[in-house]
Every structure is written in C-alpha cells, then in structure tokens.
Amino acid sequence: MAFRAIAASPGLAGKLIVVLAIGLTGAAWLAHRHADVAGDDPLADTATATATLAAPARDAASQAAASAAPASESAPAFRVETAVVEHSFSEAAQRLGLDAATTARLTRAFSGRLDFRRDLQRGSEIRFVFRNATNGTDGADGASEAKEANAVSAANAGAPQSTASSDDTPVAIRISNGNVSHDLFLYRNLAGKAFYYSSDGHAAAPSFLRYPVKFTRVSSHFSLRRLDPVTHRVQPHEGVDLAAPVGTPVQATARGTVTFAGWQTGYGKVVKLENFGPYSTTFAHLSRIAKHLKVGQTVSKGQVIGYVGATGWATGPHLHYEVHVDQVAQDPLTVDLPHRDPLQGEDKQRFAQQVALIDPLL
C-alpha cells in the first residue's frame, strides 16, 4: 500500500522538482543581475577614473615643481674684488675694469679724506663691492636704499634677489694702508640723489675739490716765509704751486662767482672766485682764461676756467693756487674743506641699516 501511495502522488513530486528548479534558476539570475549592476554603477566608474587620473596629475605637478626649482644655488647679488696698488689708485681701479669716469668719481669722493699721492702706497689694498649684473636692471645711482638693503640681505643669505644695480659702480669701497682703512658706501637719499658717504653718514666728497688741476708735482709749498725765486726776497707764499704742462685744463674747485678775470702784476693771467661761505680761491699764471669767462659769472665745481701757463712772475709752467678763509690765506693741501650736510632722520636710519648689511662684505 505504501508503494501505491508513492506512485499515486506523482503530482506532488513533480511540483517539488519544479519548485526546486525555479529556485535554482532565480538564484542564478539574481547573481548575474547583481554582477551587471556593479559593473554599470556610475560611482564605481567615477572612483575608478579618479584613481586612474590622480596619479598622473600628481606626477605632472611634481615634474613642474621640479623643473621650477633651481638646479643649483643662484649666484649672490654681490661680488667682492680686490686690487693691490702698484703705481696709483687709477691704475689699480682700471685693472679691475673700472672706466675713467667711475675712477674719477671715486678719486673725488676720497679727496677730502685721502691724498692719493701722499697717503696711498705701493701694496695698499683696495676692496670693491659690486652688484652682479644678472641680479638687477637699474643703475647703482637709481637704487633706493630699501632695494639695496634687501639685495645685500639676500646676498648674505645666498638667495636669488632682484637688486638695484647692473653696472660697475661700486656700492662700497675700502682702502687699507696697513692697519688704517677708509670705507665709503654708495647711498641714494630720499631726495633721489646718490652720493658716497662714510660709515657715519657724512658725505665723502667735499663741496670743494682738493686740487684744481692734474699736476705732476708740487713745485712750491705754502709758506709764511719763503725766498721768492724771482724777487729774491723772503716773503709769504700764500698758495701752492702745482707743476703741469702748458695748456693743462684748470677747474674751479667749488661753485663760485668770478670776481676777477684778467692780468695782475706777479700773477699774470689770473682768475679769482668768491665761493660760498667764507671761502675764496685764486688761480694764477694761466696761459689763457677760458673763453667767455667774465666777472659776475657763476661757475660750477669742476668747470674749466683756464689753462696752465707761465705768465707773470713764474720760472716755469705751473698753476699757483690759493684758498682764503675769511680773507686769510690757508694751505690748500691741508685746509679743512666743507662737506655736504650729513644724513639726518629717516635717511640716516636707512643708511645705517644698509651699512650694517654691506660692511661684512668688505
């Protein structure tokens, strides 16, 4: 009877088989569908794309940064060059490539502090601080003190910096004679004018030039009692005689007004100037006076007023030069020459900062 019961229920078994088959088929279909959804998910695509693109982007940024970074440390903003005097200051300066105009400017700047003919000796050392041309585009005279200070700071730090000079005008100079040294620093003041100053802020170049002519030697010194070579009498020699070839230009040593231009006994052809303050100057034994020079005319420092000669009481070609202070003759080689006013206020503070930064380079 059991056999017949089983045999009699084929519908139930079939139903079970069908249900089982349907279950297996559904499971397979769901598994396949799940796989398809995962593959089409836009978030998955975005994540994959982001992961794929991020690495190359970082690589490109790294490469750009690497290419922008300097391959090696940049050259400093300043350079220091040294020359040892063999014959003269101008010879030493020209050996370093300074042109004649710059050399003359430095000579004038030191004229109130050093007599190059007397004080500069063979073996004296001259140190120049220059701006490197690759670190700036403006001339030294066009630099503001702030730029100079920043540039020097960068030079001390060894960092690249756009500086205020690309020419060969030294921004600082030191002349050493044994244990004695003289320093000058180039500074453009707030009024826009550039001058050389000593480290304490006093203008280096005096308002007076020390010498009015390029001479070969001092043929006769200032003296209150001298035997005159022409009159053979002992009398004051109230100036200094500077020997030079006939025709050598004679310059006004300071701004002034012409009070006399002509011939005087003893002096020969002579020019006299009333300078500022208590100063007056005399230029005698000229071969000729500069054309168009006349009484009452104002002349500037360095202006040619005549030419060396041997007119009047003279035994050879030379310039007789006198300096009077309050109408009293003084030795032109040693008289204290007036200077420009020292730096004050903000100029003084800015200059002091600049000196503190540049001085270690000397």
- Domain co-membership, 183 together with 236: no
- Domain co-membership, 355 together with 280: no
Q: Note the pLDDT tens digit of each residue in 85-106.
A: 998 898 999 888 888 888 888 8
Cβ(93)–Cβ(103) below 8 Å: yes
In a domain? residue 280: yes
In a domain? residue 243: yes
pLDDT at 139: 36
- Domain co-membership, 101 together with 136: yes
pLDDT(256) > 90: yes
With 0.85 as the threshold, say if the pTM is over it: no
Q: SS in 3 state form for the chain?
A: CHHHHHHCCHHHHHHHHHHHHHHHHHHHHHHHHHHHHHHHCHHHHHHHHHHHHHHHHHHHHHHHHHHHCCCCCCCCCEEEEEEECCCCHHHHHHHCCCCHHHHHHHHHHHCCCCCHHHHCCCCCEEEEEEECHHHECCCHHHCCHHHHHHHHHHHHHCCCCCECCCCCCCCEEEEEECCEEEEEEEEECCCCCEEEECCCCCECCECCCCCCCCCCEEEECCEEEEECCCCCCEEEECCEEEECCCCCEEECCCCEEEEEEEEECCCEEEEEEEECCCEEEEEEEEEEECCCCCCCCEECCCCEEEEEECCCCCCCCEEEEEEEECCEEECCCCCCCCECCCCCHHHHHHHHHHHHHHHHHC
In a domain? residue 15: no
Q: What is the mean pLDDT of residues 305-315?
A: 95
- Domain co-membership, 350 together with 297: no
Report CA 270 to chain centroid distance, whole Å.
41
Distance CA 108, CA 56 (A): 64
In a domain? residue 49: no
- Termini Cα distance of the chain: 127
pLDDT at 327: 92
pLDDT at 32: 46
Considering just the CA atoms, what is the radius of gyration of the chain in Å? 44
* Residue 146: CA count within 13 A, CB half-sphere: 3
Question: Which residues form the domain of 300?
Answer: 217-330
Look up the CATH number of the domain holding residue 148: 3.10.450.350
Average pLDDT, the chain: 75
Confidence of residue 351 (pLDDT cuts 50, 70, 90): very high
Total domains in the chain come to 2
- Domain co-membership, 88 together with 182: yes
In a domain? residue 266: yes
Selection from 120-129, 147-156, 233-242 with the highest mean pLDDT: 120-129
- Domain co-membership, 189 together with 228: no
- Domain co-membership, 143 together with 168: yes
Look up the CATH number of the domain holding residue 280: 2.70.70.10
Cβ(253)–Cβ(209) below 8 Å: yes
In a domain? residue 52: no
In a domain? residue 23: no
Task: Tokens for 175, please give them.
Answer: 């002349």
In a domain? residue 21: no
Selection from 35-39, 43-47, 131-135 with the highest mean pLDDT: 131-135
